[in-house]
Structure 1
Amino acid sequence: MFNLSETEINTKKARYTIHEIQQQPELWEELFMSIKTNRKNIDHFLQNLIDRFQSIRVIFTGAGTSEFAGNVITPLLRKNSHIPHLSYESIPTTDIVSDPLSFLLKDVPTVIVSFARSGDSPESVAAVNLARKIIRNCFFITITCNAKGSLARLMEKDDKCLTIIMPEKSNDKGFAMTSSFTCMLYAAYLVFIPEMTETTNRNLINTAIKFIKTCEKSVIRLEKFKFKRVIYLGSGALGKLTQEAALKCLELNAGKIDTYHDSSMGFRHGPKSLQSDETLIILFGSSDSYTKMYDYDIALEVASEPLTSKLAVLCSNIEVENYSCADLTIPFYIVDSMHDNDLLRSFFCILFSQIFALHHSLILGITPDNPSPDGKVNRVVQGVKIHDFN
């Protein structure tokens, strides 16, 4: 990546992060086949719930990047999932653990879907234990990258739990969650949208492999803008994805780049004050024919204002002309047999965001595999005390 030799990659302490970004399409293929193999067990688990309850609350939960996976998948499933009786929402473990009675409803049948890379964060286990204590009919789906983690072990012998283990290599060794995020996001989509076809999956993988290679050139071009602040914008599920994109930039650059995120419409309500001639705005263009009009509007507005913020837009190859106002468009290619939706776009947008954050980290001389060697932040969160709940 970036024409770096193996020696340079090792010297810069970027080996894990680079490899874990590049391997993602390969892991998606492995994950797709794993879900396909376990389809009967997944369907049996869900059907049992549907047969028993008329209304089931599905809560996606996690902390940090794992929370953001839930924030992205929730609007995607509300729009695209056809499984009856299920309603979807995302609540972080940090909210559940700190104020459980505000978020967990005793008499509402609930499925807690936990996202966890390591499964060793104290909040992950505590959220499950609180749900068991408070909710009368509570069930669990655990989506984790670590079969030996505390959360996976907790669920081993629970017949109310379905555990889905991600490909082993998705348990990132680097600091930032890259493979783990996209695998867990894809797994949730495949669990609740069984209609995803092998053809679409294969086209996604092939297109993503090509995109990673072309994306490097776009990332290098962005460096000429000389930015000190990055703002990610998007609508719908892609608006939620901006949280993860901003976090990747913040983490891998050790806080040396100011980062912010918002929805395309929400940006006008105060946060536009962040614009300056040292600001780079990156817009994720929606696939929805209605929603994308709001993305067009904010792109035109930013480009036409006297403030000299630079604008880059990620969009499909057939939309590039619609964003001609941007300083740079970064296209991904949607082939005819791919069903274009914001799940597929989220993969391209987050691949770009990971590569962009990595490249700028290298420019600043930060070590991406461990951008916080002083221990200020850690790969697995530390310093959390779980208090007794009665």
Structure 2
Amino acid sequence: MSDALTQWTTWREIGAQPDIWRRWEQDFALQDVRAWIAGLDVDEVWFCGAGSSAFIGDIVASGIKGERPFRSVPTTDLISRPDFYLSDRRPLVVSFGRSGGSPETLGSFDALDVLTPDAPRLNVTCNPDGALAKRKATGECGVVVLPPQALDQGFAMTSSFTTMLLTALALFDAESRQRPFTQLADALDILLPEFTALASDTDRPSRIVFLGTGAMSHAARESALKVLELTAGRTAAIWDSPLGFRHGPMSFVDDETRIVLFTSREPQAARYEADLLDELSRQFPGQGLTTVGANADFDPNVDLPDAWLTPIAVALAQVLGVTWSDRLGLDVDDPFAGKGTLSRVVSGVTLYPVRRS
């Protein structure tokens, strides 16, 4: 990691991810929690959270197969339309939260208590003192608290996001009984210096696009958010799938746009990605184009499905965001300091009572 950036807590939290993953592989009582989940009488599994925590659910639901159907239900949607989601279903509601105390987290608890009080819950959080860890549920409730090192202190979620994501994959991937956290940590140890070198040698673009297929498309969404928020909105960032990108969003690209593609290990997806790369190289020959993933510029060389590689893909955006934020002269740990707009934990949301219709 770059010495010039070590003054920033967020930078150190990015660099700490491999060690956090290794430690969590040893400490996480995975089989106990999996056994508890297997014994529940539920119809489906919902993954809930707000912002980056919601993207965890998107990645898991689109990237792996489980014993029961998966559904990503952001808490921002759940509290605004509770009757649409909470009817006669009996889901296992899995909630993710770094602080575990956002207004949407509290609002989703209220909605669940009223509309489906017997639905079991599993709360995954980085904060042992937050509502996700401490609030009593009306039905069965399991709690997984991550290592204290995963409780990011910076504005942007970095190690908290990736460690909660790996936790969810380990718990719900029906096709894998492993938890390859150390394998991924070793890969990220190799790639972080390479990501840092790329960021250091790259001028901050005015615009950036992140692309990916399936689970990688949602990693692209998290990546776009990381760059957008760490540069306080001064680097416009969008995300899409390689096929969806052609249907209008490609108009975002100009001479100062950088494009990042998270490549897929799935043969069918890789064909379409290769076609897009060929098209982009012809239409925008001078464009900054970077690939991360299987057979890419930055290849983790890990034989795992795409969903498991998303934390490594997102790490590139973390590094780019911090580097460019510092170059802009921003407070990397609080890019919106003094503006009174965004804060580390969302506040100012009025919660309205939920009643049975």
**Number of residue-to-residue matches in the alignment:** 353
Where does structure 2 lack aligned partners over 5 or more consecutive residues?
A: none
Indicate yes or no: 2:187 matched with 1:207: yes
Deviates more, 1:56-65 or 1:131-140: 131-140
Match of 1:347 in 2: 311
1:89 is paired with a residue whose SS is strand
> How far is the alpha carbon of 1:342 from its aligned partner?
0.9
Paired residues of 2:18 and 2:188 also in contact (CA < 8 A): yes
When normalised by structure 2's length, the TM-score is 0.93
> How far is the alpha carbon of 1:227 from its aligned partner?
2.0
Deviations 1:249-307 (CA, angstroms, capped at 9, x unpaired):
01110111111111111111111111110111111101111111111111111111157
- 2:90 corresponds, among 109, 114, 135, to 109
> How far is the alpha carbon of 1:38 from its aligned partner?
4.8
- 1:262 corresponds, among 228, 237, 240, to 240
Looking at structure 2, the residues matched to 382 and 47 of structure 1 have their Cα atoms a distance apart, in angstroms, of 36
Looking at structure 1, the residues matched to 121 and 274 of structure 2 have their Cα atoms a distance apart, in angstroms, of 40
Paired residues of 2:118 and 2:139 also in contact (CA < 8 A): no
2:135 is paired with a residue whose SS is helix
Indicate yes or no: 2:145 matched with 1:154: no
Paired residues of 1:253 and 1:366 also in contact (CA < 8 A): yes
Looking at structure 2, the residues matched to 300 and 39 of structure 1 have their Cα atoms a distance apart, in angstroms, of 45
Indicate yes or no: 2:24 matched with 1:57: no
- 1:309 corresponds, among 264, 275, 287, to 287
- 1:387 corresponds, among 332, 352, 357, to 352
> How far is the alpha carbon of 1:231 from its aligned partner?
0.8
> How far is the alpha carbon of 1:96 from its aligned partner?
0.5
Match of 1:364 in 2: 328
1:164 is paired with a residue whose SS is strand
Where does structure 1 lack aligned partners over 5 or more consecutive residues?
A: 321-328
Match of 1:324 in 2: none
Match of 1:39 in 2: 31
Match of 1:181 in 2: 161
Looking at structure 1, the residues matched to 300 and 75 of structure 2 have their Cα atoms a distance apart, in angstroms, of 36
1:281 is paired with a residue whose SS is strand
The one-letter code sitting in structure 2 at the alignment partner of 1:166 is: L
Paired residues of 1:230 and 1:258 also in contact (CA < 8 A): yes
Match of 1:24 in 2: 17
> How far is the alpha carbon of 1:234 from its aligned partner?
0.7
Give the CA RMSD over aligned residues.
1.8
Q: CA 1:190–1:315 in structure 2 vs 1: closer, same or farther (change >3 Å)?
A: closer
1:290 is paired with a residue whose SS is helix
Indicate yes or no: 2:202 matched with 1:222: yes
Deviations 1:134-185 (CA, angstroms, capped at 9, x unpaired):
1264110100000110222114x76611100011111100110001000110
Paired residues of 1:234 and 1:240 also in contact (CA < 8 A): yes
The one-letter code sitting in structure 2 at the alignment partner of 1:96 is: L
Paired residues of 1:109 and 1:136 also in contact (CA < 8 A): no
> How far is the alpha carbon of 1:196 from its aligned partner?
4.0
Paired residues of 1:228 and 1:258 also in contact (CA < 8 A): yes
Looking at structure 2, the residues matched to 144 and 306 of structure 1 have their Cα atoms a distance apart, in angstroms, of 43
- 1:239 corresponds, among 214, 217, 238, to 217
Deviates more, 1:143-152 or 1:214-223: 214-223
Paired residues of 1:76 and 1:342 also in contact (CA < 8 A): yes
Looking at structure 2, the residues matched to 341 and 43 of structure 1 have their Cα atoms a distance apart, in angstroms, of 20
The one-letter code sitting in structure 1 at the alignment partner of 2:53 is: S
